[in-house]
Amino acid sequence: METVKVAVVGCGTVGSGVVDILLKNKTIIEKRTGRRIELSFVADRDFEKVKKLGIDESVIKRDGFDVIDSDVDIVVELVGGTTVAREIVSAALRNGKSVVSANKALFASYGKELFKEAENNGVAIRFEASVGGGIPVIKALNEGLVANRIEKILGIINGTANFILTEMTENLLPFKEALRIAKEKGYAETDPSYDIDGIDAAHKIAILSSIASGKWITVDDVYTRGIRDITPFDIEFANEFEYRIKLLAVAKFNDSGVEVRVHPAFLPESHILSSVEGVFNACLIEGDFVGPTLYYGMGAGREPTASAVVADIADIALGKGSSVPVQLFSEEENVCVRDPEDFTTCFYLRFTALDKSGVLSRISGILAKYGISIKMAFQKNIGFNGGVPVVMTTHVAPLRTVKEAVKEIDKLDVIVNPTFLCMIEE
Amino acid sequence: METVKVAVVGCGTVGSGVVDILLKNKTIIEKRTGRRIELSFVADRDFEKVKKLGIDESVIKRDGFDVIDSDVDIVVELVGGTTVAREIVSAALRNGKSVVSANKALFASYGKELFKEAENNGVAIRFEASVGGGIPVIKALNEGLVANRIEKILGIINGTANFILTEMTENLLPFKEALRIAKEKGYAETDPSYDIDGIDAAHKIAILSSIASGKWITVDDVYTRGIRDITPFDIEFANEFEYRIKLLAVAKFNDSGVEVRVHPAFLPESHILSSVEGVFNACLIEGDFVGPTLYYGMGAGREPTASAVVADIADIALGKGSSVPVQLFSEEENVCVRDPEDFTTCFYLRFTALDKSGVLSRISGILAKYGISIKMAFQKNIGFNGGVPVVMTTHVAPLRTVKEAVKEIDKLDVIVNPTFLCMIEE
């Protein structure tokens, strides 16, 4: 049986999961692939921690950079970040080693140069674990749906945000309380902004839309908004009209270009993504021939992420090459990323106004001036952030126009707090 | 760019879809794979029909067997059945051509010998389209989840049956009426038994569980029951207790062996598979590291099926080998398929009894004798097939014991029709 030598650089949560799988499911993987995956280099500063995983002491190293001169075939980069990780990956590729990584920030920022480096050196990069944890969604998109022109991707791809929104929905909690619970359960970091401001999801949808379109799309191309402003009032309103509020990652592809965005959205209760609860992730991908397909599973965590990393190792061991379309190596840039504010959709607008007569007419007057047509209006006599809530849903309108109108409305003396706007995805 | 020559043998519904994709999405596929897929042989008895697809006349042939001596690299077998198809596939493999097929019956019956033939000749067989139409579920199972010991597969993998059950549920229609609508819409064949008796789903779960376990599991190993006996009464009862009735394909793997079955089942309304409606398919696959994952999409139809076929062509063009685990080639048979009647679950039992006193006590007496514990009993005073319906749900019990008890109950003079039993999958 052919032996493939693997190095794990960075043996934290995911790294120790990878070691666990390679030890525990060694025989299964050998039988399935016909390859012996040999763990021959594990680098981490904490020697004792790694030793406890049950691997031979001789393979434990303190310096990840030593991997470059070693005889391993595949380097698994689990250092994280975009500085040291980038150096290690780049040096490994230059030295003829293939790379597996779960580092979405690295690929969303330096994907293009790293994949060129891999191509120039005849080696592969795979990064299944960077999106959707254990769900083989990159494989599905790049291989399973290879025959299709991808028309749309709709994803719930940040488990932390989805957990918070699920808590808020099920128990009508304020955002801060739901966030506290998420931290308590270990689902949110001490500084949770990466997850709750949509940045993590933006990295992931940048990667998915790059694969789908064949052009490198970076986080800067993604319109990004988080979930901090959502209140239990919005959740209740959504529920009443049979919607769920979800942090959605959206990519739409058509002849005029690509539209990529991450933001909270109203999703009909009957939509298949509405039933994705808690820390689960799901991605709906539509192709011109296959129609809609969905991929669902645990989007984070030690074991699921390690499962995806080992799948990549197996694919490289079997000579399957990189997990991006060949065209991403080329210089061609014929896909136009549309200005994120150009997109049109229906909106939910929640104003906070003084409880005075004429408020509704002044707000709707400004919306009318901008050509924004109101589907439903609703005012409730409850105290809300120093005013009363006034809610409107609109017919389809461009985001840019709605933002301009809201800006003007927010200047009215009867408006006491910035207006919350949310897309409605039908 | 490397050119790979492809033959399509059998240009019916799926075949013409494959031709369509290879013509329409030629550039996309080339850019993604770096391979030129050349359609150089299309065999069908109906020359004129094929000509209309817009391919060059010179590649259209009448005899599929001519492909054996042609210079194509990949033969796409879409003849169907297990006689001519088997001969063509076998001859193609012997002549060093890789094979792509959507023929589940062929692989469920002759998988072992065909894969041996492929291995002996250093070529590949792929068959993604045989399960789940366009959903890349075989790829997910065999490649994406390669790191996992597979613990459970739960699938809705027959669109016809799922359409009929969805119709029955939404409109409380009798089975025959729902079947009529399915036929009208082209979702059911003139003789629908293959779909509604669970045979098609049995073929598919045999393939999936073979890949998961590494042992060839055939249709004969699958406990199979269809949906003919389900009545609107059962559907209503299920709905009332927040269940959905679905035709489920189940495979469970543990140390004592593999348990594979296809049958109607009560599924909690909140279960993610309960929201799979109409002709859609979905497969829930659980691995020891990845946890539960779900794959969803259109399980049949010209375009989705063709999408899967072309993905297989691309994979072979990229040298990716067969879509089964290497161990399936070996002689080892260390996985024990458990006797299908050995499995234990909760049951729904619907008796049809005369409206006489003592009925309930006589039925429950027999169940008690067999050690079957009743969770809930319910008798309704409505006319039902010449009697009244008596419904019971049980605690966990072995299928074998429940069948024996029901056999004894059905001999009672107060029972006027055979009892309907249905598994409850929590």
The predicted pLDDT at position A89 comes to 96
Same domain, B108 and B151: no
Q: Which of A16, A283, A293, A327 to mutate to test the interface with B (most CBs of B within 10 A)?
A: A293
The predicted pLDDT at position A320 comes to 85
Judge whether residue A333 has pLDDT over 70: no
Q: How far is CA B65 from CA A307, B41, B44, B316, in A?
A: 43, 11, 11, 21
Q: Check CB contact under 8 Å for A25 and B289.
A: yes
With CA atoms as reference, the chain B residue closest to A296 would be B294
CATH, residue B246: 3.30.360.10
Q: Check CB contact under 8 Å for A315 and B17.
A: no
**CB-nearest partner of B139 from A31, A143, A303:** A143
User: Stretch B231-249: mean pLDDT, rounded?
Assistant: 96
A296 to chain B: which residues are within 8 Å by CB?
Answer: 272, 293-296
User: Stretch B199-213: mean pLDDT, rounded?
Assistant: 94
With CA atoms as reference, the chain A residue closest to B309 would be A147
The predicted pLDDT at position A330 comes to 66
- Band (pLDDT 50/70/90 cuts) for residue B160 is very high
Judge whether residue A326 has pLDDT over 80: no
- Band (pLDDT 50/70/90 cuts) for residue B79 is very high
With CA atoms as reference, the chain B residue closest to A133 would be B290
Q: Check CB contact under 8 Å for B31 and A325.
A: yes
Residue span of the structural domain in which B114 resides: 2-126
A149 to chain B: which residues are within 8 Å by CB?
Answer: 25, 28
How distant is the Cα of A76 from the closest Cα of chain B, in angstroms?
15
Judge whether residue B117 has pLDDT over 90: yes
Q: Give domain status of residue B228, yes or no.
A: yes
How distant is the Cα of A37 from the closest Cα of chain B, in angstroms?
11
Same domain, B162 and B262: yes
- Band (pLDDT 50/70/90 cuts) for residue B184 is very high
Number of folded domains that form chain A? 3
Q: Give domain status of residue A305, yes or no.
A: no
With CA atoms as reference, the chain B residue closest to A325 would be B32
Q: Check CB contact under 8 Å for B297 and A308.
A: no
Catalytic residue, from A97, A204, A215, A252: name it: A204
Q: Give domain status of residue B321, yes or no.
A: no
Q: Check CB contact under 8 Å for A146 and B314.
A: yes
A279-288, A295-304, A415-424, B100-109 — which is least confidently predicted?
B100-109
Same domain, B118 and B199: no
Judge whether residue A334 has pLDDT over 70: no
Q: Give domain status of residue A62, yes or no.
A: yes
Judge whether residue A331 has pLDDT over 60: no
Q: Check CB contact under 8 Å for B25 and A148.
A: yes
B321 to chain A: which residues are within 8 Å by CB?
Answer: 318
The larger pLDDT score, comparing residue B370 to residue B217, is at B370
Q: Which of A143, A154, A269, A313 to mutate to test the interface with B (most CBs of B within 10 A)?
A: A143
User: Stretch B174-200: mean pLDDT, rounded?
Assistant: 95
With CA atoms as reference, the chain B residue closest to A146 would be B311
Dihedrals phi, psi of B332, to nearest 5 degrees: -50, 135
State the sign of the Cα–Cα–Cα–Cα dihedral A314, A315, A319, A323.
Answer: negative
Judge whether residue A306 has pLDDT over 60: yes
**CB-nearest partner of A311 from B147, B296, B325:** B147
B136 residue type, one letter: P
User: Stretch B39-54: mean pLDDT, rounded?
Assistant: 91
A21 to chain B: which residues are within 8 Å by CB?
Answer: 147, 289
Is A121 strand, coil or helix? coil
Q: Give domain status of residue B292, yes or no.
A: yes
Dump pLDDT digits (tens) for A222-256.
999 999 999 999 999 999 999 999 999 999 998 88
Is A165 strand, coil or helix? helix
A126 to chain B: which residues are within 8 Å by CB?
Answer: none
User: Stretch A297-305: mean pLDDT, rounded?
Assistant: 93
| Distance of alpha carbon A258 from alpha carbon A97, whole angstroms | 34
CATH, residue A10: 3.40.50.720
User: Stretch A209-221: mean pLDDT, rounded?
Assistant: 90
Q: Check CB contact under 8 Å for A147 and B311.
A: yes
Q: Check CB contact under 8 Å for A327 and B17.
A: no
Judge whether residue B279 has pLDDT over 60: yes
Q: Check CB contact under 8 Å for A307 and B298.
A: no
User: Stretch B374-383: mean pLDDT, rounded?
Assistant: 88
Q: Give domain status of residue B312, yes or no.
A: no
Q: Which residues of B are catalytic?
A: 204
Same domain, B272 and B176: yes
With CA atoms as reference, the chain A residue closest to B296 would be A294
**Crossing angle between the packed helical segments A302-317 and A26-33, to the nearest 10 degrees:** 40
Q: Check CB contact under 8 Å for B304 and A289.
A: yes
Judge whether residue B332 has pLDDT over 70: no
Same domain, B52 and B167: no
Mean per-residue pLDDT over chain A, rounded: 93
The predicted pLDDT at position B331 comes to 57
Q: Check CB contact under 8 Å for A25 and B148.
A: yes
Same domain, A64 and A157: no
CB pairs < 8 Å spanning A and B: 197
Cβ atoms of residues A281 and A133 within 8 Å? yes
With CA atoms as reference, the chain A residue closest to B272 would be A275
Cβ atoms of residues A155 and A249 within 8 Å? yes
Q: Which of B340, B368, B399 is the last residue of a domain?
A: B340
Same domain, B92 and B195: no
How distant is the Cα of B68 from the closest Cα of chain A, in angstroms?
26
Q: Check CB contact under 8 Å for A146 and B325.
A: no
Q: Check CB contact under 8 Å for A149 and B291.
A: no
With CA atoms as reference, the chain B residue closest to A305 would be B290
**Half-sphere exposure at residue A280, Cβ-oriented, CA atoms within 13 angstroms:** 18
Same domain, B118 and B156: no
Judge whether residue A341 has pLDDT over 90: no
Same domain, B146 and B277: yes
Q: Which of A283, A307, A323 to mutate to test the interface with B (most CBs of B within 10 A)?
A: A307
Percentage, residues of chain B above pLDDT 90: 78
Strand A98-101 and strand A125-126: the pairing is: parallel
Same domain, B121 and B145: no
B298 to chain A: which residues are within 8 Å by CB?
Answer: 290-293
User: Stretch B263-292: mean pLDDT, rounded?
Assistant: 95
Q: How far is CA B329 from CA A26, A189, B108, B157, B324, in A?
A: 19, 47, 15, 26, 9
The larger pLDDT score, comparing residue B190 to residue B228, is at B228
**CB-nearest partner of B136 from A31, A144, A314:** A144
CATH, residue B404: 3.30.70.260
User: Stretch A135-161: mean pLDDT, rounded?
Assistant: 97
How distant is the Cα of B343 from the closest Cα of chain A, in angstroms?
25
Q: Which of B286, B319, B340 is the last residue of a domain?
A: B340
The predicted pLDDT at position B218 comes to 87
- Band (pLDDT 50/70/90 cuts) for residue B342 is confident
Residue environment code for B277-294, b if the CB has 16+ CB neighbours within 10 A, otherwise e: bebbbbbbbbbbbbbbbb
Same domain, B60 and B35: yes
Q: Give domain status of residue A307, yes or no.
A: no
Q: Which of B32, B154, B215 to mutate to test the interface with A (most CBs of A within 10 A)?
A: B32
Q: Which of A27, A74, A279, A290 to mutate to test the interface with B (most CBs of B within 10 A)?
A: A290
Dump pLDDT digits (tens) for A22-76.
999 999 999 999 999 999 999 998 888 989 998 889 999 988 888 888 999 999 9
Dump pLDDT digits (tens) for A349-364.
999 999 988 899 999 9
- Band (pLDDT 50/70/90 cuts) for residue B330 is low
Same domain, A84 and A176: no
Q: Which of A74, A100, A126 is the last residue of a domain?
A: A126
B293 to chain A: which residues are within 8 Å by CB?
Answer: 134-136, 295-298
Q: Give domain status of residue A327, yes or no.
A: no
Q: Check CB contact under 8 Å for A32 and B146.
A: yes
How distant is the Cα of A263 from the closest Cα of chain B, in angstroms?
24
A170 to chain B: which residues are within 8 Å by CB?
Answer: none
- Of A122, A133, A109, A145, nearest to A321 by C-alpha is A122
